[in-house]
């Protein structure tokens, strides 16, 4: 299998408040943030792709141009005639975030409408990264098509990394959320959940309970994030606990989990053992916590040694 990576999901136009009625325009979205950080860390120009759909309008063009400039593979981005990218605005209340979304009719919602296109977009990727947010924005039929395409890719050697990233307001019911996430866990090789999401959906009483539930579901590589708490890992049948270093100068919690995923996956792809991959994930997220927005300024991207 190739060293190519693809993340599947939605990138939105991000409007982040920077002063009275003044916003800065950027692009963000959970799996996109992970793919972008991986591309910067791995620096293998063209080896990290983002599978999504955008419009044919000028802001969609700008998005694709920026990804190209940042060394990403944009050949797996589809265009839709009569739709554009979703948008969200961030207001900050201290370090907490207040989000408002306009995404219900975004082009990305159509990313799994055509299984042939999707199969081609994933191509020969050795690692596919996906999240529960990607699943939440798709129709039930589209989820089933995505499941089939990924299952086929896995049967040809690809591995699936999955962050459940549970966002109740994107789902119609808790039942639907559980059923869908359980189905995707069946084909998950690497699970990267956050404990608070899992506790709210499944009633897990501790990160250890989350790890054991996922292990029972058949996932063999797991890292359970827990904010400032330790990260619990499982890999090759061995469990590890890695304390999370405290972060000075924390400004904005946006994208901490996505950045962790990028550091973790980049380290694992580069052959590092799980414990080191967790530590690098923590280093990448601590950097995103020190900056506004979901992505680290390029000059602050930590080096993977």
Ligand X SMILES: Nc1ncnc2c1ncn2[C@@H]1O[C@H](COP(=O)(O)OP(=O)(O)O)[C@@H](O)[C@H]1O
Q: Which residues bind Mg ion (CB under 5 A)?
A: 165, 194, 257
Minimum Å gap between C-beta 260 and ligand X is 4
Q: For Mg ion, which residue has the nearest CB?
A: 257
Question: In the beta sheet, which residues pair with residue 100?
Answer: 89
Determine if 231 is a binding residue for ligand X (CB under 6 A): yes
Q: How far apart are CA 54 and CA 59, in angstroms?
A: 9
Give me 167's structure tokens: 């966002």
Q: Which of 46, 157, 227, 297 binds ligand X (CB under 6 A)?
A: 227
Q: Which helix (H) or strand (E) holds 213?
A: helix 207-216
Q: Is there binding between residue 244 and ligand X (CB under 6 A)?
A: yes
Regarding 228 and contact with ligand X (CB under 6 A), the answer is yes
Among residues 30, 163, 197, 258, the one annotated as catalytic is: 258
Q: Report d(CA 101, CA 111) in Å as an integer.
A: 19
Q: Are 107 and 100 in contact (CB under 8 A)?
A: no
Judged by beta carbon distances under 5 to 8 A according to partner kind, the member of ligand X, Mg ion, none in contact with residue 155 is: none
285 binds, among ligand X, Mg ion, none (CB under 5 to 8 A by kind): ligand X
Binding partner selected for residue 228 from Mg ion, ligand X, none, CB under the kind-specific 5 to 8 Å limit: ligand X
- Contact region with ligand X (CB under 6 A), list: 33-41, 107-115, 126-134, 241-249: 241-249
Binding mask 178-197 for ligand X (x = CB under 6 A): ----------------x---
Closest alpha carbon to 285 in 70, 41, 99, 8: 41
Q: List, edge to edge, every strand of the sheet that includes 77-79.
A: 77-79, 48-54, 5-8, 127-131, 159-163, 190-191, 221-224, 231-235, 238-242
CB atoms closer than 10 angstroms to residue 300 = 11
SS3 of 298, please? helix
The answer to whether residues 189 and 159 touch, using CB atoms and an 8 Å cutoff, is yes
Termini Cα distance of the chain: 23
Q: Which span sits near ligand X by CB under 6 A: 134-142, 146-154, 219-227, 232-240? A: 219-227
Question: Which part of the chain contacts ligand X (CB under 6 A), choosing from 43-51, 60-68, 77-85, 253-261?
Answer: 253-261
How far apart are the C-alpha atoms of 195 and 197, rounded to whole Å?
6
8 Å CB contact between 52 and 13: no
**Partner interacting with residue 297 (select from ligand X, Mg ion, none; CB below 5-8 Å by kind):** none
Q: Is 198 in the site for ligand X (CB under 6 A)?
A: no
* Of 86 and 132, CB closest to ligand X: 132
Structural Rg of the chain based on CA atoms? 18
Strand 238-242 relative to strand 231-235, pairing: antiparallel
Nearest approach in angstroms of CB 158 to ligand X is 24
Nearer to Mg ion, 153 or 294 (CB): 294
Size of the residue set binding ligand X (CB under 6 A): 16
In the complex, minimum distance from the CB of residue 69 to ligand X, in angstroms, rounded to a whole number: 26
226 is a contact residue toward ligand X (CB under 6 A):
yes
User: Can 258 be counted among the known catalytic residues?
Assistant: yes
Q: Which is nearer to ligand X, 53 or 225 (CB)?
A: 225
Determine the angle formed by the axes of helices 256-269 and 30-42, rounding to 10 degrees: 40
What span, in angstroms and rounded, lies between the C-alpha atoms of 80 and 57? 10
Q: Of the two residues 69 and 96, which places its CB atom closer to ligand X in the complex? A: 96
Residues contributing to the site for ligand X (CB under 6 A): 194, 225-228, 231, 244, 246-247, 256-257, 260, 282, 285-286, 289
Q: Which of the residues are catalytic? A: 258
């Amino acid at each position: 299998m190739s060293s190519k990576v693809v993340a599947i999901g939605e990138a939105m136009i991000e409007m982040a408040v920077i002063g009275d009625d003044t916003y800065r325009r950027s692009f963000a979205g959970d799996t996109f943030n992970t793919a972008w950080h991986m591309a910067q860390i791995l620096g293998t120009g063209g080896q990290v792709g983002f599978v999504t759909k955008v419009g044919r309008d000028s802001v969609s063009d700008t998005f694709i141009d920026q990804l190209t400039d940042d060394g990403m593979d944009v050949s797996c981005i589809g265009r839709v005639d009569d739709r554009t990218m979703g948008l969200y605005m961030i207001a900050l209340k201290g370090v907490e975030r207040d989000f408002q979304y306009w995404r219900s009719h975004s082009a990305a919602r159509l990313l799994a409408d055509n299984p042939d296109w999707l199969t081609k977009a994933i191509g020969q990727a050795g690692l596919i990264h996906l999240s529960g947010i990607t699943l939440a924005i798709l129709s039930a039929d589209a989820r089933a098509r995505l499941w089939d395409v990924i299952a086929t890719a896995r049967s040809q050697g690809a591995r699936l990394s999955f962050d459940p990233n549970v966002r109740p307001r994107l789902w119609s019911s808790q039942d639907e959320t559980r059923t869908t996430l359980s189905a995707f866990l069946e084909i998950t090789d690497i699970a990267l959940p956050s404990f608070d999401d899992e506790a709210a959906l499944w009633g897990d009483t501790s990160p250890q309970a989350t790890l054991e539930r996922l292990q029972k579901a058949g996932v063999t590589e797991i890292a359970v994030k827990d904010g400032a708490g330790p990260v619990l890992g499982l890999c090759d049948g061995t469990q590890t606990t890695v304390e999370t270093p405290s972060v000075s100068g924390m400004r904005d919690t946006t994208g901490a989990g996505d950045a962790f995923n990028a550091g973790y996956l980049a380290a694992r792809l580069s052959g590092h053992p799980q414990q080191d991959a967790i530590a690098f994930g923590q280093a990448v997220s601590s950097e995103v916590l020190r900056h506004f927005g979901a992505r680290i300024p390029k000059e602050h991207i930590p080096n993977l040694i």
